[in-house]
Amino acid sequence: MIVLGIESSCDDTAVALYRPGCDEPFSEKVSRQYKIHDPYGGVVPELASRSHLEALPHITRELLDDCGIRPEDVDLVAATAGPGLTGALIVGLTFGKSLALSLKKPFVAVNHIEAHMFAATAEEEVGYPFLALVISGGHTLLAVVKSSTSYEIVGRTRDDAAGEALDKGAKILGFPMPGGLNLALAAEKGQRGTPDGRRFPRSYLKPSLDFSFSGVKTALLYHVERTRPSSEEAKNNIAADYVEAIMDVLVKKAMLAAKTYGINTIVVGGGVSANSRLRELFKNRCQGQRKNVRVIFPSMPLCTDNARMIAARGLRVYKDKGPSGLEADVFSTFIDQDEA
Ligand code: KG4
Ligand code: ZN
């Protein structure tokens, strides 16, 4: 089985081939757009759509050629159908549907959040139920996952997503795009608990499993306005304290959710799951008082937006539910219409 996955929900255009059972099941080509958007300080939807349109045919051809696969060898085409930027989604979806139609192969529409939620399961067998922690630029949620088709969201952010708080924090500290990644790299170089930084507030909203990150972001803004850090070292130290506050809440709330629901496996997904400090904090917890909890992370290429997870989730959805109609509504796979 050869699955072609297409991801175009935001500012990365990605195509991947997924061949389950092979030694190296994934091959991928990615075209990143942050240089296009950086002068504007954020993703410009119209520029994103145009860039997807330009990149998709080229990277798909390159991917197939590099893997020595003919288009007609592809058995299934999967594309992200949402949530994301509407224009950007339409480009990838239309490309995928057209390709499937011309090749007379089935097409399947994939929910981007579900793709993050199940990304790690493409690399490692994980039993049900598990607790999913999805942490991306647009979403932060905890879900009790009962099967590949059934899950219940038990906590979500009430304001900013964790990745969004990192991106906005990067902007406050003057780091270029991709902000969250640059902030995380700065934090790795910096030191926590120096006079440059401060202990940023953590919002736990107990007993709820919801999150809130707007307070910590505002605290960073006031701290930077007050202390006006100019040296790289000072900014790195502040970044280290800021990242710590966000990761601390994510880890503690995921652990609390696991305890609340009596689940011993936590599966993390989404761009923020690439963070080294998050991984370290989870590890410390699981080596400490919560030895019975296992935390599973996707490998790096499956963390931030990628087409591998779309191909893998596409195959699962196809097996569970069959193909999507080619007329499929762009918004039909949204978890929650309010988040469109
Ligand atoms: O999943 P993703 O690539 O796209 C969305 O679906 O939103 O997540 C993007 C988010 C960004 O907001 C960025 O701040 C965050 O992932 N991110 C990171 C790292 N790399 C990307 N956060 C922490 N540490 C990283 N290394
Ligand atoms: Zn994503």
List of domains in the chain: 3-118+302-321 (3.30.420.40), 125-297 (3.30.420.40)
Ligand 1 atom at minimal distance to the Cα of residue 184? 24
pLDDT at 340: 32
Indicate the burial class of 222 (C-beta count within 10 angstroms; 0-12, 13-18, 19 or more).
exposed
CA-nearest residue, atom 7 of ligand 1: 137
Below-70 pLDDT ranges, the chain = 326-340
pLDDT at 213: 98
d(CA 25, CA 18): 5
182 lines ligand 1 (CB under 6 A): no
Distance 228 CA to ligand 2 centre (A): 33
- The pair phi, psi for residue 27, each rounded to 5°, is -130, 145
Six-digit token string for 116: 């993050």
How far apart (Å, rounded) are the C-alpha atoms in residues 207 and 310? 34
- Please indicate whether residue 323, judged by its CB atom, sits closer than 6 Å to ligand 1: no
Amino acid at 58: H
* 175 residue type, one letter: F
Q: Classify residue 29 by burial, with Cβ atoms within 10 Å: 0-12, 13-18, 19+.
A: buried
* DSSP helix/strand/coil, 194: coil
Cβ of 181 closer than 6 Å to ligand 1, yes or no, is yes
**Which residue matches tokens 């991801």?**
7
Q: Please, what sign has the CA dihedral across residues 183, 185, 190, 192?
A: positive
Is 275 near ligand 1, meaning CB less than 6 Å away?
Answer: yes
Write the DSSP string, 83-141. SS-HHHHHHHHHHHHHHHHHHT--EEEEEHHHHHHHGGGGTS--PSSEEEEEE-SS-EE
**Length of the chain in residues, anyone?**
340
Pair 34, 11: CB distance under 8 Å: yes
Residue 154 token pair: 């038990």
What distance in angstroms lies between residue 194's CA and the mean position of ligand 2's atoms?
Answer: 33
Query: Which of 166, 216, 250 for a ligand 1 pocket mutation test, highest count of atoms within 8 Å of Cβ?
Result: 166
* pLDDT score at 287: 87
